[in-house]
Amino acid sequence: MNLNETVFVFDVGGSAVKAGVVSPDTGDFVKHVENLDIATASAYEFAKALPDAIELLAKDIDNFKPAGIGISLAGLCKDGIVVEAPNLKWFNAPLVVMVKDAMKNVGHNLPISLENDGDCFALGEWKYGVAKEYRDILGITLGTGIGGGFIIDGKIFRGGMGFSIEPGHIKVNYEIDTPPCGCGGRYCLEAGTGAAGIVHTYKVKGGSVDENTTVLDIAARAEEGEEIAQALFRRIGRRLGIGLAGLSNLLNPEAVVIGGGVSSARKFIEPSLRSMLESETLVSIRGKSVLLWSELLNKANLLGAAAMVAKL
Ligand SMILES: [Zn+2]
């Protein structure tokens, strides 16, 4: 691929689709759309709608040379197939073939990549973001669930089945008030520290919630000085710190990068997270792994998708 060319990138989340036109060479965005209006009722509907969305994205770009399509997706993906995306309700969908066919119908034969969004986040931060000076890095996204990726020697670590890493489902909680996890298991890190788990725990601890209460609302109450909210975030920080210490002992990343919507409550989470990480990481690696916070924010997944398609 000629890296002077640009690629179309899509970040398909459980509640919104972000899009961009990116130069994989520099990581510069020619265009960035926070909330793309596109069908996601099924993988097929999405693939069918993609050519029109791409035409619209490219409409006012001069001398546009599309060189590929990169897709970051909230779900388990392997060999171009969305194996399991519970938030989207897409299962065993051959998305890359679907998109390739849809693009061929409008006269384009482009390389297409499909990756898990946590892996895209980690790759984006490693290649273009705060972790670019490190070699082996762990990326963690705090959102509806807890996602992530481990980059080793510049490559996504996939494990034997192809789905590594899923940091949200490491088992850390053995507590009665932990809600069940979306994966069907119990005791998962994200069951207590994903967005839904945070709101649930806030309610259990006596916080006032209705069906619209979000983590950002709870963060705002913490900011106003509410003790229940502040204590909750200290607890979330400790749990995340335990999870990250376990992952650091296992993988020895040179840097850990944290992003995702819940990381906007960083001020309240970070002190207890750091202290747990400090006390529970093995002495021989303690203090050597750097804890960083994403600056690419909502663009990290899109940039990881751009890096992936540029490799094809
Ligand atoms: Zn789980």
State the distance from the centre of ligand 1 to the C-alpha of 169, rounded, in angstroms.
4
Question: What dotted CATH number matches 6-120+299-310?
Answer: 3.30.420.40
Section 207-230 average pLDDT: 94
pLDDT at 4: 53
The pair of structure tokens assigned to 82 is 């969305």
Section 71-75 average pLDDT: 96
Q: Which residue is associated with the tokens 């689709």?
A: 17
pLDDT at 258: 97
pLDDT at 77: 97
Grade residue 3 by pLDDT with cuts at 50, 70 and 90. very low
Whether residue 200 is predicted with pLDDT greater than 80 in this model: the reply is: yes
Of the options 3.30.420.40, 1.10.357.10, 3.40.190.80, 3.30.750.24, the CATH number for the domain spanning 133-295 = 3.30.420.40
* Percent of the chain at pLDDT exceeding 70: 97
* 3-state SS, residue 17: strand
Whether residue 239 is predicted with pLDDT greater than 60 in this model: the reply is: yes
State the distance from the centre of ligand 1 to the C-alpha of 118, rounded, in angstroms.
15
Determine the number of helices (DSSP H) and then strands (DSSP E) in the chain: 9, 13
Section 5-21 average pLDDT: 93
* 3-state SS, residue 139: strand
State the distance from the centre of ligand 1 to the C-alpha of 85, rounded, in angstroms.
13
State the distance from the centre of ligand 1 to the C-alpha of 184, rounded, in angstroms.
6
Q: What is the DSSP letter of 76?
A: E
State the distance from the centre of ligand 1 to the C-alpha of 182, rounded, in angstroms.
6
**Of the candidate ranges 60-74, 77-91, 109-123, the one whose mean pLDDT is the lowest:** 60-74
pLDDT at 131: 97
| This prediction's pTM | 0.94
State the distance from the centre of ligand 1 to the C-alpha of 105, rounded, in angstroms.
39
Distance CA 132, CA 111 (A): 25
- b/e 272-296 (16+ beta carbons within 10 angstroms → b): bbeebbeebbeeeeeeebebbebeb
Residues 6+ apart with CB under 8 A from 89: 42
**CATH 3.30.420.40 domain locations along the chain:** 6-120+299-310, 133-295
Grade residue 90 by pLDDT with cuts at 50, 70 and 90. very high
State the distance from the centre of ligand 1 to the C-alpha of 239, rounded, in angstroms.
15
What's the mean pLDDT when you consider all of the chain?
92
pLDDT at 2: 47
State the distance from the centre of ligand 1 to the C-alpha of 256, rounded, in angstroms.
21
* 293 φ/ψ angles, rounded to the nearest 5 degrees: -120, 135
Section 185-203 average pLDDT: 88
**Cα 129 to Cα 29, 82, 133, 166, 197, distances in angstroms:** 14, 27, 9, 21, 29
Section 166-172 average pLDDT: 93
Grade residue 60 by pLDDT with cuts at 50, 70 and 90. confident
Residue 174's Cβ-count burial label (10 Å; 0-12, 13-18, 19+) is: exposed
pLDDT at 125: 98
**Beta strand 76-78 with 29-33: parallel, antiparallel or unpaired?**
unpaired
pLDDT at 278: 93
pLDDT at 312: 82
The pair of structure tokens assigned to 268 is 């309240």
State the distance from the centre of ligand 1 to the C-alpha of 190, rounded, in angstroms.
7
Grade residue 177 by pLDDT with cuts at 50, 70 and 90. low
* 3-state SS, residue 79: coil
pLDDT tens-digit map of 98-149? 999 999 999 999 999 999 999 999 999 999 999 999 999 999 999 888 999 9
